[in-house]
Structure 1
Amino acid sequence: MPALCPCGSLLDYRDCCGRFHAGENAPDALTLMKSRYSAFVKGRADYLLRTWHESTRPSQLNLTEPVKWFGLEIVSFDSEGDRATVSFIARGKINGRAFKQVETSRFVRENAQWFYVDGVLTE
């Protein structure tokens, strides 16, 4: 049975972010942002590390904290050449407590592949 993609596209996961998790490069920073959110939902630390720029990438990523993600809202997207920013709101619950993560993330494209660089929490 098809499963909707966590990014909110209303597409089947395999036809949306699942193909990027399987190895296809995201065509732009906005798509990478959505696929990284989906990777958090799916617990895909391998994908998150693979798409994190080497200058800021941690050596490991622990996704064992019990987060229940509820959705991603893209606030703005700006791209110029090989640099881009995506502002978003991600909502979820940790141990029954609701939270929202409001962030502006920076991305860079190197050798035809987009990478997450870092993000600034704005709330």
Structure 2
Amino acid sequence: MPFNTAGPLSDTISVSASGNELVVLESGVYQITVSINAETTTEPDPEQPYLTAVITVNGAPVFGDISTFFNISNRDSSTFVIQAPLSAGDEVGVSIYTNFPALGYMNRSMTLVRLGSEMLNK
């Protein structure tokens, strides 16, 4: 999921060189919020597959498994919120996949909010 800019209050966040992740510049506990709209047809169809999105840190699922995945049905939107300890230099992204090639997405966003400096066991 590409990003082209970090938001206005981003003194502890930047965009990765590839533009596919947000980079944490200061260690701490962060709230990660991801919102995505799935879109392919003009009408919802319960028979159509869905997008699956996984929040990643440094290219791997954030907690080491796919427990942080969420599904987005066609013509629907979804928001997922987690909290995680992140270290300076960690790259946070979202991997999206589907078995239905025509299904795409739009209006995506990811927000990282630093909640505190205390690191949990990572």
Higher helix fraction (1 or 2): 1
Taking structure 1 as the reference length, the TM-score comes to: 0.29
The structure with the larger Rg is: 2
Taking structure 2 as the reference length, the TM-score comes to: 0.29
Higher strand fraction (1 or 2): 2
